[in-house]
Structure 1
């Protein structure tokens, strides 16, 4: 800021502090960003270490993985087969067991920088890989275009191909799923990046990035000699670790640029009409930090950091060159930012540049905060992040993150035991409080599912002693899960008792749950009485808060039988590659109450059904969110069909079909409708 007078510098610093606080509110404080990252990291670390050799590895990538939770952002995931590995040269093959690993060789000799052909070296049993194979001079290669098309055919309905990704929309949440291959080695074409890392990131981060290699995604260079066969090197894992290495002012500057791109540069442009994307913005920020263009990144320098990055963007657009951060020879602008489109974009950016920092007034996210300071130059601004969000708001976000990551880690009992052993190892390691509560939640999920897996394993053996022992173990695991899980985990005990025909025991648990669900301080998603919550559990550990005051929706792994009445829905969803059934917790309460009472007291059973019907028909999204109405109407119909009210059941099933198909149970719904119609016709 040497070119500015002292008064102007002070003004910029004052506005920067205001923008910093606004970005902390909108993007997140350093503590909240760390929480988002740590909960995902611990879950994926455990999942990946315990994945079976023939399983699929999943990794969250993109903005969500970096720590953003910006409204309207895509949720990006990468998937790869655990038993396939890409190597960079033949000498690396000696480190793999050929008996259970398919090796693929990267051959970039004829491809543009950042792209490669993938040669299949050893046999594979993966049918999708086999279907993509083609030959060049007696060598077998994997076609990216065919692989991408097969991925699309196996994806959810209403999906589209977008680059290497399959993109779609689930209840208003856009997603990008990318199937890829993993490589344990750092590519030679990116070796120059290691040499550049003199000042940033730290050597420990660089070593970790290099040690974890890269990925290959199914898209070729449009101007390359093998556009339909080539694969692109992906550094998604390296990128989010670089973002992790940013200080919070750098991260918020990155967030400000993302908002500016969306709200100003790409404002009113359709998704297919934009030339710049968030990946270009990330690339600019990474280069700016590494080149040490701005020595001091702090709250008072947010606007200066923004301006340095914006000038670099303008320069790159003028030159038509955006060098990939890891392979600079790969120009990210080559095929899109050129010709007349490039000229129009440059003129647009130059007009913004001529306005100076005042161009930020066009950003709806920060405009009012800049104006407040301009109107009140002496306005005091505190940059203490800790005062931005109250304890309750932080807890709401933490438990929301836990719900998003509350997924089963294994389909078989053996893998569940491996997981519990892994948890035992982690207990003595250095974990943050965020990771502890996430691990606690995952352990509760594993214990619950293990109990049902164990019961199902021994149900059909016919050996009473084995069944007795398995039952004791299952009950112990369920009770342990409820002790350090959340309030709603008690329902799994009730489900287990119902499945084992112990209806009175199930109702006893349901009654205890009813008392807990009636507590005024309960937190269900973002719904919570802040004063009573603070009075009841304020200042206590997150583990204690989760056990006493947090309610999560019921998640059923579709590969595990919990309730016989829901088997058709689970099978239909599983057939459509939906691995979980998500049921609103308050709806599950009435459902279980109805199922148990119908074996004991028909009057109370009807009362439970009446309450269930009121909930489904009249709830305004408080207890039954719109995206869960498919399964909610379905469960109501099942209960009505059980009681013989076929007309009401038919109406409920038809309503289920009209809802957003979140759980992909339509096949089961159609079958139930046919059963109701057939029974009605036969009765007449």
Structure 2
């Protein structure tokens, strides 16, 4: 492959090669439309949550590559969380922007810290035990120790979670996650002002202004060479990075994606000694600098590999010098603590070896190789770079609906909280929104209406106030039917659950029969399962609202703060957030509960259908992560029929599944109630 050397690309069909890789990257990373869907649905969800948040809430923000718009295999979920009533200020004059009664103020003191790091001095009292216990006295002042704060905030969210840098890290169903507990600052730090001042060509002034207006964060990790490693905090510019990545054109974003793929599939495979020395943050930093320095004349599909090569050369230069300057604070060398000494020299030689191969080094990437060789062996191969033709209507809709479902996870605590959500969404409808965000708000409204309906009913149950009970019942029914009108097929399950809860069993069964008819349609899109041809025949060309209502279904999420089914009270008391139940499991469960009062034969049929589903499903209707609650529900039904041995087996199976919902305590209580010796 010597003819792939750097000097002969243009003569060897360089543009053709770039177009082929561009098409492949659109398949792996996504088209510009797919990336926009991922970003905008997430943005609208966080906007709702931020506006609804109370002063004493913990704000959470998705971070990292998924938030940027990637869905690469192996991408992890990064979450940053901070107490809403704590704020970091950069100098004392900024304290006048806050009321001391409802905000705990923290002063950033970077006078003795390396660039990009700081000490955090607690200025005003805090009500949070974890903050108090993380404080250490220094120079007659009280500072929050980053290492102690990390220890205090370890939540062990899922089994096997460990401390990793500033984060709590782990894995759920093959998906890795990092959770960083931090503090927010509403002001742009002075140490990063040089970044703003050098923004002449990229990003544009509007993006720069947005970056300065947005907050930065302080994550609990100190510099290993600093004077106060265990007390120092690192300055995080995650929000600013989101803005920068979102301001890239699609070719630049795909180049960033290619750098991430190249890191994982080529650089990290060179040797064990240098494996994982570099990370995707280094790749992001490289492309930020390359774009801002105008090192590539034109970012377009026909020039994609030229952009990649410029980035690779800059990375090689940094590796030789041992300096990777942080984009926001260049004095902060991102290589300083990890990439140095013999490991640095070895990695430099490995990168130099790849560089000497020219773009042929990309042949070491399994994801890209075939698309390069296809062009080399078929120079007249026709390549279409029109992104609209790269993705079918069905695939586009699947991406859209799954992103909507993924980003709706609201958990209102009470009726007032529900009303606050509805009011917030009402105000947002009047704002300039994209078509994706409009449907996201529509789906969010359905979710909140369902929650409000059950919350309202639970408030007046057993109060003895017949008139209020009658009014609340009518309002609840109206809200559930309204939600079903602009929700999806599975939203009808909330009507069935409500009828079951209010002892209208025949009405509930009528709804479940309607749901079964809709679920039996050949064009159904259930989660990511769909027959593209049947789907297109059924709803192709129609509006997204129509498609969602007629052909889309998901599993059911039950808010832990709201009672939907009395028989699941124990389980809902065990979870902290949501109970996520497979749709078909819940359907058979409701049929069983209702038919027990109407037709015991049909109740037994529903139980048998549930048993076959839980025992034999191959991840089509019951996802592995939801098997704990599925076995639990089967055990509940078996216990209600008096089949205690079968119920014991089901409960034992529930305990052995991955504890996604953390219902083990409820399961043990149910086992004790069986009284089987």
TM value normalised by structure 2: 0.97
Deviation of residue 270 (structure 1)?
7.0
CA distance in 1, matches of 2:363, 2:655: 46
The 3 A distance-change label for structure 1 pair 102 and 271 is farther
Structure 2 Cα separation of the partners of residues 60 and 302 of structure 1: 29
Q: Deviations over 1:307-333 (max 9, x none)?
A: 000000000011000000000000000
Compared with structure 1, are the counterparts of its residues 4 and 129 closer, same or farther at alpha carbon in structure 2 (3 Å cutoff)?
closer
Deviates more, 1:155-164 or 1:249-258: 155-164
Match of 1:142 in 2: 144
Return the alpha-carbon distance in structure 1 between the equivalents of residues 79 and 93 of structure 2: 31
Q: In the TM superposition, what are the counterparts of 1:240-639 in structure 2 within 5 Å?
A: 240-267=242-269, 273-574=275-576, 579-639=577-637
Residues 411 and 578 in structure 2, CA contact (< 8 A), matched pair in contact too: no
Distance 1:7 1:328, change over 3 A: closer
Per the TM alignment, residue 439 of structure 1 is displaced from its structure 2 partner at its CA by 1.1
How far does the alpha carbon of each residue in 1:241-278 deviate from its partner, in whole angstroms, 9 at most, with x for none? 10000000000000001000000001276799511000
Following superposition, which runs of at least 4 residues in structure 1 exceed 3 angstroms of deviation? 3-7, 268-273
In the alignment, the residues of structure 2 paired with residue 116 and residue 280 of structure 1 have an alpha-carbon distance, to the nearest angstrom, of 22
Helix, strand or coil at the partner of 1:330: coil
2: distance between equivalents of 1:188 and 1:455? Answer: 53
| 1:37-80 deviation line (CA, Å, top 9, x unaligned) | 00000010111011111111111110001000001111111111
| Deviations 1:125-169, CA, capped at 9 Å, x for gaps | 111111111111221111110110122255332101111111001
Q: For residues 103-122 of structure 1, what are the structure 2 equivalents within 5 Å? A: 103-122=105-124
| CA positional deviation for 1:486 | 0.6
Shift of 1:529: 1.8
Q: 1:639 to 1:409 in 2, by over 3 A?
A: closer
Superimposed CA distance per residue, residues 65-108 of structure 1 (whole angstroms, 9 cap, x where no aligned partner): 10000011111111111111111111111111111111111111
Match of 2:153, SS? helix
Match of 2:239 in 1: 237
- The CA deviation at 1:400 is 1.4
Which residue in 2 is equivalent to 1:67? 69
Give 2:647's aligned residue: 649
Secondary structure in structure 1 of the residue aligned to 2:60: strand
Q: CA deviation at 1:12?
A: 1.5
Q: Distance in 2 between matches of 1:598 and 1:89?
A: 67
Deviation at 1:280, TM superposition (A): 0.4
Please state whether the residue corresponding to 1:152 is helix, strand or coil. coil
Q: Specify which of 651, 668, 671 is matched with residue 670 of structure 1.
A: 668
| Consecutive unaligned residues in structure 2, runs of 5 or more | none
Secondary structure, in 3 states, of the residue corresponding to 1:54?
A: coil
Distance 1:268 1:607 in 2: 58
2: distance between equivalents of 1:265 and 1:202?
A: 33
SS at structure 2 position matched to 1:555 = strand
Secondary structure at the aligned position of 1:122 is classed as coil
Consecutive unaligned residues of structure 1, counting only runs of 5 or more, are none
**Alpha-carbon RMSD:** 1.5
CA separation of 1:269 and 1:348: change in aligned 2, threshold 3 A = closer
Corresponding residue SS for 2:575: helix
The one of 203, 211, 215 aligned to 2:217: 215
Native 8 Å contact 1:171 1:662 kept in 2: no
Give deviations 1:358-386, integer Å, cap 9, x for gaps.
10000111100000000011212111011
C-alpha contact 1:557 1:580 (8 A) present in aligned 2: yes
TM, length-normalised to structure 1: 0.96
Aligned residue pairs total 673
Does the alignment pair 1:11 with 2:9?
no
1:427 Cα deviation after fit: 2.0
Contact 1:558/1:581, CA 8 A, preserved across alignment: yes
> 1:22 is matched with which residue: 12, 24, 29?
24
Match of 2:159 in 1: 157
Separation in 2, partners of 1:556, 1:270: 45
Distance in 2 (CA, whole Å) between partners of 1:9 and 1:47 is 54
In structure 2, the partner of 1:224 is 226
Moved more, 457-466 or 281-290: 457-466
Aligned partners of 1:17 and 1:300 also within 8 Å: yes
Question: Once the 2 structures are TM-superposed, how far is the Cα of residue 406 of structure 1 from its aligned partner?
Answer: 1.9
Indicate if the aligned counterparts of 2:158 and 2:172 stay in contact, CA closer than 8 A: no
Asked whether the equivalents of residues 488 and 553 of structure 1 are also in contact (C-alpha less than 8 Å), the reply is: yes
CA distance in 1, matches of 2:181, 2:274: 22
Matched residue SS, 2:269: coil
